[in-house]
Structure 1
Amino acid sequence: MPTLCRLCDAIFEGDGACPRCGGAWLVRHSEIATLTIAHIDCDAFFASVEKRDRPELRDLPVIVGGGTRGVVAACCYVARLSGVRSAMPMFKALKLCPDATVIRPDIPKYAGVAREIRAMMERLTPLVQPLSIDEAALDLAGTAALHGAPPAAVLSRLARDVEREVGVTVSIGLAQNRLCAKLAAERDKPRGFAVLGADAPSVLAPEAVGILPGVGPALVRRLAALGITRVGQLASLDSRAARLKLGDDGPALAARARGEDARAVDPVQAAKSISAETTFGSDISDPADLARELWPLCERVGRRLRAEDVAAAALVLKLKTARFETATHAIRLTAPTRLPETMFEAARPVLQRAAGPAFRLIGIGAARLVPGTLADQGDLMDRDSPRRAARQEAVDALRAKFGTGIIRRGV
């Protein structure tokens, strides 16, 4: 059986320790020397960065998130032992793990670390597709001659380099397509390296259907009502049966259960949306107070749009009431933008119309993303946008040189 040594990156045949270094940190799979699609996922990324910067927290539970009314943005594996999970309400997380150290998210810091890791990936292959701040898909086909080693060995070395140079750990999935690579990366966290090849259907068959991307709690319940709880049961449906049971999306869902995925790794594909939200310390109903909370969110979304060189052709305003009822409002823009004041001016009238009940959360998202070159060009009816864009560039330059607090803009 072909075996990868994760200590020295040797690939060898045999069942014993590595013949090169004697190491026993091994990954065995019949296709490990030939598969080329990888998924790299940072382990508990936000919490790992905080532990890197505060070594005294290394063995302690850490939760990155908001106040008692917020949610968990990330948590370390020590906190997970107590049942804490991402997106869990903070009050519930602190009941489960009262001794946890809670740290407010520092997104600019995490983004900087993510850029370091992405640059290391791009030294291996130009085909790197970021999927979020802490994960990416890579296609290493044809790179073996360049690196003098098959992709598995190159990825093993990358994981150690990231841990040594950046100070966080990653888990790697290696497979024949993006879907299986992502599922593999989830199987052996943290510091994992898992492989799914032609054996993917049989390996995945006994797993719960909820492991599949796009299968959330509501769909899990719907499938369970049909007697489908395992991936193998879903995979066994042919196209006709899948459509009859699950509608038009059924055949694609059954194909995912079989590990089928024709998507290529696309390094130029942008994220589908960019958003920011905040949970209030106490419920807010006054439109003016809500507007004051909306403004910094527009600034955050604008910064991310400019950093990723994209623009929003539409917006989505999100509001959650004190009774946890969520409403979203789609907002069309007359032209693409990445300026916070333009987003704010477009969203404020919608916010005023929606005001009335007490809200516990507000969010703003940029949707229908387009290349940044299309942003804020102005026209005969809007001669001010280019000047505002130039002013924003000057503000960004000052903040980059002197810190984000050098200039503050009010509502």
Structure 2
Amino acid sequence: MPTLCRDCDAVLIQPGAELSGACPQCGGRRLISHAELGTLAIAHIDCDAFFASVEKRDRPELRDRPVIVGGGTRGVVAACCYVARLSGVRSAMPMFKALKLCPDATVIRPDLSKYGAVAREIRDMMQRLTPLVQPLSIDEAALDLAGTEALHGAPPAAVLSRFARDVETNVGVTVSIGLAANRLRAKLAAERDKPRGFAILGADTAAVLAPEPLGTLPGIGPALVRKLAGLGMTRIGQLAALDPRTARQRLGDDGPSLVARARGEDNRRVNPVRETKSISAETTFAHDITDPVLLGRALWPLCEKLGRRLRAEQFAAAALVLKLKTARFETHTHAVRLTAPTQLPETIFEAAKPIVHQAAGPAFRLIGIGAARLVPANLADHGDLMDQESPRRAARQQAMDTIRAKFGADIIRRGTVE
């Protein structure tokens, strides 16, 4: 049985049995054995409690303390460390509830620019392993390492083990890794041994998953779990046992794909070119707002943030969506199509501000602005005979971006737009 030592990356062969105890080469005890360890090549890499881990890296005094990354008592938890999770805190939980569960937590406002820089550093390290890296979010990615054994002088399992240790040593955060024959199995494996985990799902996936709750599968949320429970299915194995015809009869057109997922089947390739569908920014108010002037003041920094994210991602917005959530948690969305694509906060603000004034009336607890239709950045802000101001604005924005890149984001600020 092939065994990987995660402390020295040695792949050891113990005829007829798993290697137990300590690694004979380094004495390490982080051993993982699997019959397919030397042949699997699809990996899912997930940073452990990423935002909170970055903050703990930068503030070592918080290492053993509960940390919540989020904003205000009316906001939600963006991330939390594993110490906070012991108290029941979870991502996307309302902050007031998280602080009731863990009142001694240190709360830190999110610093997305810092997290983005760390994510890019880790992504660069991934791309040294293989060009087939598909980002899935800021803190996770799928990799295909098939055919890289000659390049690295080691099978993918050993290469990934070394990568995890390099990230921990050089970047200061930890990752969990899943290794399998397809993307779905790799993602499921990565979730099985967090934090600092390394798990493998091979041909035995269906048997391993069979006793687990249906909510374990990606894409099966609480509503679908309740529907399946009403049909007498609560475990993955019960869903996997359905034949395609029965699945379609009982679950509709999505039935056969749900059954395939329960069996660990997935034919998606790792695609390095991932489509970005939307870019947005939003904020939750400390107190409900009805005044349209105050709503406009809250909208302006979000337009700046959206423009900054568009420029960073090399996109432009051809349409916008304004989001307003009332004090009764009713969400109102308003779409507007732009006359020309833009990356500029002033242009975004000018298009969205009239909608804010039209929508004003109820008390709002949240406002957001997003780019609903993305186009390449080179189509942005060219202007024409009727619009000679956009190119000037774009030149000013480029100059500001250059100054900020050199001297820091706070070196130059815009006044509030009314």
TM bin, normalised by shorter chain, reads over 0.9
| Alignment-derived partner of residue 10 in structure 1 | 10
CA 287–173 in structure 1, closer or farther in 2 if over 3 Å, else same? same
How do 1:5-404 residues align onto structure 2 when only pairs under 5 Å count? 5-14=5-14, 15-16=19-20, 17-404=22-409
Change beyond 3 A, Cα 1:380–1:140? farther
Q: Residue 296 of structure 1 aligns to a residue in which SS?
A: helix
Moved more, 144-153 or 208-217: 208-217
Distance 1:256 1:407, change over 3 A: same
- Give a deviation string over 1:86-140, Cα, whole Å, max 9, x none: 0111110010000101111111111111111111111111111111111111111
Q: Tell which deviates more after alignment, 367-376 or 22-31.
A: 367-376
8 Å CA contact retained: 1:278, 1:362: yes
CA distance in structure 2 between the partners assigned to 1:176 and 1:293 by the alignment:
48
C-alpha displacement at 1:314, in angstroms?
2.9
Match of 1:406, SS?
coil
> How far apart in 1 are the matches of 2:271 and 2:223?
30
Counterpart contact for 1:270–1:369, Cα < 8 Å: no
CA distance in 1, matches of 2:233, 2:339: 46
Deviations 1:142-184 (A, max 9, x none): 1110000011101100000000001000011111111111111
Distance, in Å, in 1 between the alignment partners of 2:252 and 2:383 is: 44
Cα offsets for 1:336-367 (capped at 9, x unmatched): 33222222222223322322211111122223
How far has the Cα of 1:210 moved from its partner? 1.5
Helix, strand or coil for the counterpart of 1:405?
coil
Q: How far, CA to CA, are the matches of 2:254 and 2:245 in structure 1?
A: 11
Distance across 2 between alignment mates of 1:272 and 1:156:
33
AA in 1 matched with 2:6: R
Amino acid corresponding to residue 11 of structure 2 in structure 1: I
Q: Once the 2 structures are TM-superposed, how far is the Cα of residue 380 of structure 1 from its aligned partner?
A: 4.9
Deviation at 1:243, TM superposition (A): 2.5
One-letter code aligned to 1:44:
A
Shift of 1:379: 4.3
Decide which moves more: 226-235 or 83-92: 226-235
My pick for the range that moved more, 267-276 or 97-106, is 267-276
- Matched residues, number: 411
> What's the offset of the Cα at 1:196?
1.2
TM-score, normalised to structure 1's length?
0.95
CA displacement at 1:381 relative to structure 2: 4.5
Taking every aligned residue pair, what percent have the same amino acid on both sides? Answer: 79
Alpha-carbon distance in structure 1 between the residues aligned to 2:94 and 2:263: 34
Q: C-alpha distance in 1, partners of 2:407/2:98?
A: 36
Deviations 1:216-275 (A, max 9, x none): 222222222222222222222333323333333332222222222222212122332222
Distance change (3 Å), C-alpha of 1:341 and 1:140: same
CA distance in 1, matches of 2:202, 2:337: 44
Distance 1:59 1:238, change over 3 A: same
Distance 1:25 1:291, change over 3 A: same
TM-score by length of 2: 0.94
C-alpha distance in 1 between matches for 2:340 and 2:297: 24
Is contact 1:131–1:271 with CA below 8 Å preserved after alignment? no
Alignment check: 8 A CA contact 1:37 1:141 kept: yes
- Read off the aligned partner of 2:123 and give its amino acid letter: R
CA distance in 2, matches of 1:372, 1:108: 20
Check whether the contact 1:234–1:257 (CA below 8 A) recurs between aligned residues: yes
Which stretch has the larger CA shift, 368-377 or 352-361? 368-377
Structure 1 segments (4+ residues) deviating >4 Å = none
C-alpha distance in 2, partners of 1:290/1:325? Answer: 17
Cα shift readout 1:316-335 (whole Å, capped 9, x = no counterpart) = 32222112222333333333
Matched residue type, 2:269: A
Q: Per-residue displacement from partner, 1:36-82 (whole Å, max 9, x unpaired)?
A: 11111110111111111111110010111101111111110000000
Q: For 1:333 and 1:247, how far apart are their aligned partners in 2?
A: 39
Structure 2: which amino acid aligns with 1:187? R
SS in 1 for 2:229: helix
Structure 2: segments with no counterpart, 5+ residues: none
Which whole-Å CA distance do the structure 2 matches of 1:348 and 1:57 have between them? 42
- Equivalent AA in structure 2 for residue 188 of structure 1: D
CA RMSD of aligned residues (A): 1.7
SS at match of 1:191: coil
Counterpart residue identity of residue 151, structure 2: L
